[in-house]
């Protein structure tokens, strides 16, 4: 079995690249804090567009034609609330995995996530240390808000595949273990929108796909 796994891995390819912004990034004003200031502070950074040396953080890249969620039910991730900020701001997970929603604050939060009319969660979380395990059963790009603290924003991207990546603070990403052939790839960013293309993956090689967005 180990030999078979090694052979399969050797035959696979990968995709890497960088998501960047052309031109100057807009300067986003801080988000005002309007309540629970002893816990939350007085203002929060707007994380909807984070750019470093042209590289865009928190863009999601995935293969739309590779529907594979094997062993996803064993995967567990965490969405925390720390000083009235969702951590992480953008997260990606496959269908079937579990998301632990955590309140680390000494304040009441109400976490609501939905994509259009599709609701993922709506939890009142009144005490610090409160954890709600949530099974991710629905595909979608879910916007997360706190009904108590309106500046709190995040995104949960639930996909029918494990062939995905999220860009780091430099805008770089890599998706490994991709079977050879022509595949469709999508890129999404909460503020800058979506882009799609077709990529050919060659066995044992790394294809490159760089993406440029214009400022908004």
Query: In this structure, what CATH number is given to the domain that contains residue 81?
Result: 2.60.40.420
The number of folded domains in the chain is: 1
Check residue 17 and give its pLDDT.
98
Domain containing residue 163: 12-49+57-213
Q: Is 5 within the bounds of a domain?
A: no
Band the pLDDT of 214: cuts 50, 70, 90. Answer: very high
Q: Does 199 have pLDDT greater than 80?
A: yes
135-149, pLDDT tens digit by residue?
Answer: 999 999 999 999 999
Whole-prediction pTM value? 0.92
Long-range contacts: 27-33, Cβ < 8 Å, 24+? 31/151, 32/151, 33/84, 33/149, 33/151
Q: Is 132 within the bounds of a domain?
A: yes
DSSP-derived 3-state class of residue 173: strand
Check residue 4 and give its pLDDT.
38
Q: Is 101 within the bounds of a domain?
A: yes
Q: Is 6 within the bounds of a domain?
A: no
Q: Is 25 within the bounds of a domain?
A: yes
Q: Does 181 have pLDDT greater than 50?
A: yes
Check residue 216 and give its pLDDT.
81
DSSP-derived 3-state class of residue 143: strand
1-35, pLDDT tens digit by residue?
Answer: 443 344 445 589 999 999 999 989 999 999 999 99
Check residue 91 and give its pLDDT.
97
Q: Is 2 within the bounds of a domain?
A: no
Q: Contact at 8 Å (CB) between 17 and 206?
A: no
Q: Is 3 within the bounds of a domain?
A: no
80-126, pLDDT tens digit by residue?
Answer: 999 999 999 999 999 999 999 999 999 999 999 999 999 999 999 99
Check residue 10 and give its pLDDT.
54
Check residue 11 and give its pLDDT.
87
Compute the distance between CA of residue 104 and CA of residue 126 in angstroms, rounded to an integer: 10
Q: Does 212 have pLDDT greater than 60?
A: yes
DSSP, res 106: S
35-88, pLDDT tens digit by residue?
Answer: 999 999 999 999 999 999 999 999 999 999 998 767 888 899 999 999 999 999
Residue 142: which H helix or E strand, with range?
Answer: strand 140-146
């Amino acid at each position: 079995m180990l030999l078979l796994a090694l052979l399969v891995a050797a035959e696979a390819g990968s995709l890497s690249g960088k998501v960047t912004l052309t031109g100057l990034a807009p300067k986003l004003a801080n988000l005002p804090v309007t309540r629970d200031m002893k816990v939350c502070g007085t203002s929060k950074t707007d994380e909807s567009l984070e750019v470093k040396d042209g590289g865009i953080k928190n863009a999601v890249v995935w293969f739309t034609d590779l529907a594979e969620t094997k062993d996803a039910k064993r995967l567990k991730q965490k969405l925390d609330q720390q000083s009235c900020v969702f951590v992480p701001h953008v997260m990606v997970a496959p269908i079937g995995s579990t998301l632990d929603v955590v309140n680390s604050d000494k304040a009441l939060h109400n976490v609501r996530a939905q994509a259009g009319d599709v609701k993922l969660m709506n939890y009142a979380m009144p005490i610090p240390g409160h954890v709600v395990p949530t099974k991710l059963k629905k595909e979608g790009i879910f916007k997360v808000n706190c009904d108590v603290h309106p500046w709190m924003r995040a995104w949960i991207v639930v996909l029918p595949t494990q062939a995905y990546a999220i860009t780091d603070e430099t805008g770089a990403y890599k998706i490994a273990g991709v079977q050879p052939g022509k595949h469709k790839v999508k890129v999404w960013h909460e503020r800058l929108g979506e882009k799609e293309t077709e990529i050919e993956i060659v066995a044992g090689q790394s294809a490159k796909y760089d993406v440029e967005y214009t400022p908004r």
